Amino acid sequence: MCDCDYMFPSNDEWEKHYDNCKLVWEELYDRTCPRNNDGTLRLCNANLSKLETDFLYHLGFDTKTHNLPALFGDVKFVCMGGTKHRMRDFAKHIAKELKIKSDFANMTKQSHRYAMYKVGPVLSVSHGIGIPSMTILLQEVLKLLHYAKAKNPIFFRIGTSGGLKIPPGSVVISSWGMNGTLQKTYDIPILGKVRQIPSFFDKRLSQEVQSLASDVGFGTYIGGTMAADDFYRGQARLDGPICDHTEDEKLEFLNTLAELGVKNIEMEATAFAALTSEAGVRAADVCVTLLNRLEGDQVSISKATYAEYQVRPMLVVGRYITKYYVDKLKR
């Protein structure tokens, strides 16, 4: 039976179900969906029940000292992004939009690794650069929300990226993540063997997000995202400290990516799509492009342009969250 918790009324153009609808998820993974009937998250790990206390080491919270349901039980949206500064700005943006007072205190202060802000039902958390840093944070937030009994949480990543054949300043909502060997998977060695986990984002969520951005004043695209494990050679750049490919080879590679439907390159999309999907939560990766990689490698935009661009994913995701609450008040 379909158990989609529709955020907005359906229309003919949108995908009918969310990917974490029991119907869709169980067909895809051939096991019971980890989302409970009340929308809380069930973690697929029996070992956790053997722990007397679970220490979420990098967040600085644990299940014994902290009353996680009281602290985080109301979380509906988790928004992640690379830097502490950006996530503080996003918390401020959301506080203004939702008219919620906050002291913008960093809740992970003891652990120093990441920064986490809570504004009402919105958690704004930094994840650092690259897949390993992001996945540690993401996995601990998933556990945090499980222990907190948060219902039907939706995850966003707001980030920066290099664009392919689209104007700098455009926003890309990722339909899938592609790894450095052009597969749509997140590859992780586990017990000595590489596991490949499919890395697709929820189609309906990306359509909903894009539908609210038609008049934002910059282009928004739904398209593929390459997640590289490096900023320089791994993204075909010519300006790293070591380079063993030619400009022609670089352009050939970037053109191949573009032909495959890749619109931007960043460093987290595959793992973000794969882990959220496995956990049965919906997620969208919303990144601004800082440059067109067919035209260069250096990020040489001014501070003012960078600031203007960086705000764009916040505006798009902020609209989604705000509309959800405005509509909810009307209901």
How many residues interact with ligand URA (rule CB under 6 A)? 10
Question: How far is residue 221's CA from residue 171's CA, in Å, rounded to a whole number?
Answer: 6
268 touching ligand URA, by CB under 6 A: no
Binding mask 297-326 for ligand URA (x = CB under 6 A): --x---------------------------
Question: How far is residue 324's CA from residue 331's CA, in Å, rounded to a whole number?
Answer: 11
154 touching ligand URA, by CB under 6 A: no
Nearer to ligand URA, 121 or 162 (CB): 162
Nearer to ligand URA, 81 or 120 (CB): 81
Report in angstroms the alpha-carbon separations of 72 from 35, 68, 282, 305. 17, 6, 18, 35
Measured from the CB of residue 231, what is the shortest distance to ligand R2B in angstroms?
A: 5
Contacts 24+ apart (CB under 8 A), 36-43: 37/3, 38/151, 39/5, 39/151, 39/152, 40/146, 40/149, 40/150, 40/151, 41/142, 41/145, 41/146, 41/150, 41/153, 41/279, 41/280, 41/281, 42/146, 42/280, 43/142, 43/143, 43/146, 43/279
Listed ranges 8-16, 46-54, 261-269, 300-308: which one lies at the site for ligand URA (CB under 6 A): 261-269
Nearer to ligand R2B, 34 or 82 (CB): 82
Measured from the CB of residue 180, what is the shortest distance to ligand R2B in angstroms?
A: 13
Taking residue 205's Cβ as centre, other Cβ atoms within 10 Å add up to: 23
Q: Which does 290 bind (CB under 5 to 8 A by kind): ligand URA, ligand R2B, none?
A: ligand URA
Nearer to ligand R2B, 153 or 159 (CB): 159
Binding residues vs ligand URA (CB under 6 A): 160-162, 231, 235, 265-267, 290, 299
